[in-house]
Structure 1
């Protein structure tokens, strides 16, 4: 889950855990390496890393190892709160979508993998024909794309950048 990127100065930097769909980087820091034994140069480097994450448009969520060890529920709640805020957009463009389309977007984002028609039927609690209409509408709106090679029979779909923007902005 570690994510590599290049800073503006050309240095390779890494985020501990990267969630592409949420544009989220979660860091886990130990006290000794990130506070007790930190030099001025290392401190400046860490600030540059955080600025680079921001410049790339990522949300940054740091946790200490002590917090993860002693207060795991608080860490989990914090992460769920953040994910909840950024996965339930109520902007005008989002609200113009049909309720089935909005629900399928949320579901597909939570799945974190390409989805199939069986997933659509399960999520929307609709039959195959009605689910296919929703998928066709979303394809026409360019909210999803087919991940397969075929042009006649489409089996797997994934969210487009347009859909992610609707959900996460």
Structure 2
């Protein structure tokens, strides 16, 4: 399933590429595939908004390429192998990587790297990190979160950070509001399909969980 989706995604990227970016896309992208499969696709739900080998201009005027970029969140994702980025790196290359990271920051992007070992051994942890990032920046213009009332946004952001079912008492603690007010906020979120009831009965629910629709809303234009 992933292989087919990746193949279609990669071909679309190649069709729209030229010059050095095209050459970069035709290299061995094993690490990039692992990043997409282990973290980005499970969290984002789609590869559609991502750009491989995203071209930028460094502070020195050189072209640099981000492994994967999500422009809507102005975030650059990287997969770093210990062997190529630490064990066998030259001093000049090490310095270049620092300049490259600063250039990404100067251009207003969040630099969000993962190691190959993390992707292979701690995929769930890597996904939680990205969920937390989305929860923290998900209310910026263009992501859809700013269309929700502030209390609903806050509940979703806390829920993304927790990544586990929450109760009404948790919402009261997050929002510092009375129980009835928090119950109304949760009802609105449930009505909009942004949280789902977990456990309980048809008349009384004890816990809630953020929905995939809500996660998608965090990074939708």
The TM tier, using the shorter chain, reads: 0.5 to 0.7
Q: Distance in 2 between matches of 1:68 and 1:104?
A: 40
Distance 1:115 1:87 in 2: 20
5+ unaligned residues in a row in structure 2: which ranges? 6-26, 51-67, 69-76, 88-100, 102-109, 114-128
Unaligned stretches of 5+ residues in structure 1: 10-42
Q: For each residue in 1:88-120, what CA deviation from the matched residue of structure 2 results, as whole angstroms up to 9, or x when unmatched?
A: 343374222111001111110011111111211
**Normalised TM-score (structure 1):** 0.57
Instruction: Work out whether residues 148 and 154 of structure 1, in 8 Å CA contact, stay in contact via their aligned partners in 2.
Output: yes
Match of 2:207 in 1: 156
Q: Is the 8 A contact 2:195 2:209 kept in 1?
A: yes
**1:63 aligned partner:** 80
| CA-atom RMSD in angstroms | 3.9
Shift of 1:153: 0.9
**Scaled by the length of structure 2, what TM-score is found?**
0.45
Matched with 2:180 is 129
Moved over 6 A (4+): 66-69
Aligned length, in residue pairs = 127
Asked whether 1:8 is paired with 2:4, we answer yes
Establish whether residue 139 from structure 1 lines up as the match of residue 187 from structure 2.
no
What SS does the aligned partner of 1:62 have?
strand
